[in-house]
Amino acid sequence: MAIPLHYIARNVWARRLTTALTAGGLALVVFVFATMLMLDAGLKQTLVTTGERDNVVVIRKGAETEIQSAISRDQAAALEMHPAVALTTEGRPMASREAVVLISLTKTGYTTPSNVIIRGVSPLGVTMRPQIRLTEGRVFKPGSAEIIVGSSIAKGYGNVRIGDHIRFAQRDWTVVGHFDAGGSGFDSEIWGDIDQLMQSFRRTSYSSMVMRLSNADGFDKFRADIDVDPRLANEAKREQQFYSDQSKALSAFINILGLTLTTIFSVAAMIGAMITMYASVANRVGEIGTLRALGFQRNNVLMAFLIEAVLLGLVGGIAGLLCAALMQFASFSTTNFQTFADLSFRFLLTPGIILKTLLFSMAMGLIGGFLPALRASRLNIVDALRAR
């Protein structure tokens, strides 16, 4: 770099107001961009981490979500008997029969209710998901009207403290514990005993079955067997895959929305950068002429202004990123279109996002500053010197 970096940097600092305004505009775009990436990362983490690698979810063929699915008791029994299913130390199949229903609960601070998932699980259902940790209280006793509440529900809804009662299906259910599911989708659920829930909601069929295979590689055979069995109209998926598929639409929506918004905004911010850089060049025509007279090449001048523009972008990028980082303290919840249930997730800041964001902001500066830098490099020396 022939033209010294401190010359370039000090010029950015010398025009503080302009730099602040331009960088401010860039920072806002960066904020939207970064927040959108963080939202998507948070969503992915919530869903991808929902479930275990070794678990398999079985639902009715054709149903996309547990809400739409139904498995009869006979089918459930047949499924549990499959040789690929692991056994507990007592010799029972490691399977949880589950029923998923939605109830309406009102979030703190809102007037309209949201749909919350109540999941009835078999006694093994909790142990089959080691990611579930009890943070307060205890697990519900089988055969009782007790429920445990996921951390997002505990945070977002009013009367779900230990000892509180929620009324649904004409019964009062007592909250006996809170659990943390490591930021996965289960954090947005309430769990209770499968038989009690089925009875109260007058259901005769389960929504799904969750099973542990003794050998993870046995999945393909398991799936094939289930597929062709005429008694079962079911299909099997790995648990993590199942939950991740359920949010494809929401994830796609967030991505497209974010991408569209960011593109539009970035054009506006780049225009701002372009205006600023043109003015920067115009104000320093005399200096440019002097530098060229002293022997600096056109390319040196081009590089100097490109670097100035990139610095501008970097300043905006850091500012925007710092603001976006604050979003990590917020949580976001919305109804997943596919499952119809409320889903909470966080904004997740990863090193990858930091890198992408900074590159994006520097690129905005670079693109906005390119034409002005080109103009600077193309100045005629004599004209430039005369122009002061």
Partner 1 sequence: MYLPKLIARNAMRHKLRTTLTVLGLVIAVLAYGLLQTVVDAWYAGASAASNARLVTRNAISLTFALPLHYEYRIKGVDGVSQVARSNWFGGVYRDPKNFFAQFAVSDNYLDLYPEFIVKPEERADYQRDRRGALIGRQLADSYGFKVGDVIPIKGTIYPGTWDFVVRGIMEGRDESTITRQMIFHWDYLNETVRKKTARQADQVGVFVVGIDNPDNGAAISRAVDNVFKNSLAETLTETEQAFQLGFVAMSNQIIAAIRVVSYVVIVIVMAVMANAMAMSARERITEYATLKALGFGSGFLSLLVFGESMIISMVGGAIGMLLTPPAASFFKQAVGGVFPVFTVSQETMAMQAACAVVVGLAAAIVPAVQAARVRIVEGLRAIG
Partner 2 sequence: MAEATSGTSVTTAAPLVSIRHLAKSYQRGAQTVPVLSDISLDIAEGDFIALMGPSGSGKSTLLNLIAGIDRPDSGELLVGGVDISELPEASLADWRAAHVGFIFQFYNLMPVLTAYENVELPLMLTRLGRAERRERVEMVLRMVNLGDRMDHYPSELSGGQQQRVAIARALITDPTLIVADEPTGDLDRTSATEILTMLQRLNADVGKTIIMVTHDAHAAEAAKSLVHLEKGELLQTERRQPGPRA
Could you list the residues that contact partner 2 (CB under 8 A)? 2-4, 6-7, 10-11, 13-14, 286-287, 289-298, 381-382, 385, 388
Among 52, 64, 195, 287, binds partner 1 (CB under 8 A): 64
Measure the N-to-C terminal CA separation of the chain; round to a whole number of Å. 26
CB burial class (10 A; 0-12, 13-18, 19+) of residue 235? middle
Contact yes or no for 288/379 (Cβ under 8 A)? yes
Distances (CA, A) of 274 to 169, 193, 261, 271: 62, 63, 20, 5
Which lies closer to partner 2 via its Cβ, residue 231 or residue 386? Answer: 386
Among 102, 134, 323, 367, binds partner 1 (CB under 8 A): 102
Distances (CA, A) of 293 to 250, 288, 380, 381: 59, 9, 10, 7
Structure tokens at 328: 């990590």
Which lies closer to partner 1 via its Cβ, residue 144 or residue 263? Answer: 263
User: Which does residue 298 touch among partner 2, partner 1, none (CB within 5 to 8 A, set by kind)?
Assistant: partner 2
Q: Looking only at residues 251 through 310 of this chain, which bind partner 1 when binding is defined by CB under 8 A?
A: 257, 261, 264-265, 267-269, 271-272, 274-276, 278-279
Backbone angles phi, psi at 87, to 5 degrees: -115, 150
Spell out the residues 6+ positions from residue 33 whose beta carbon is closer than 8 angstroms to its own: 258, 262, 265, 266, 320, 357, 360
User: Which does residue 18 touch among partner 2, partner 1, none (CB within 5 to 8 A, set by kind)?
Assistant: partner 1
Which lies closer to partner 2 via its Cβ, residue 13 or residue 253? Answer: 13
User: From CA 386, how far away is CA 292, in angstroms rounded?
Assistant: 13
User: From CA 228, how far away is CA 209, in angstroms rounded?
Assistant: 18
User: Which does residue 49 touch among partner 2, partner 1, none (CB within 5 to 8 A, set by kind)?
Assistant: none
User: Which does residue 346 touch among partner 2, partner 1, none (CB within 5 to 8 A, set by kind)?
Assistant: none
Residues that bind partner 1 (CB under 8 A): 17-18, 21-22, 24-25, 28-29, 31-32, 60-64, 67-68, 70, 101-104, 110, 112-115, 168-170, 201-202, 204, 233, 257, 261, 264-265, 267-269, 271-272, 274-276, 278-279, 332-335, 340, 342
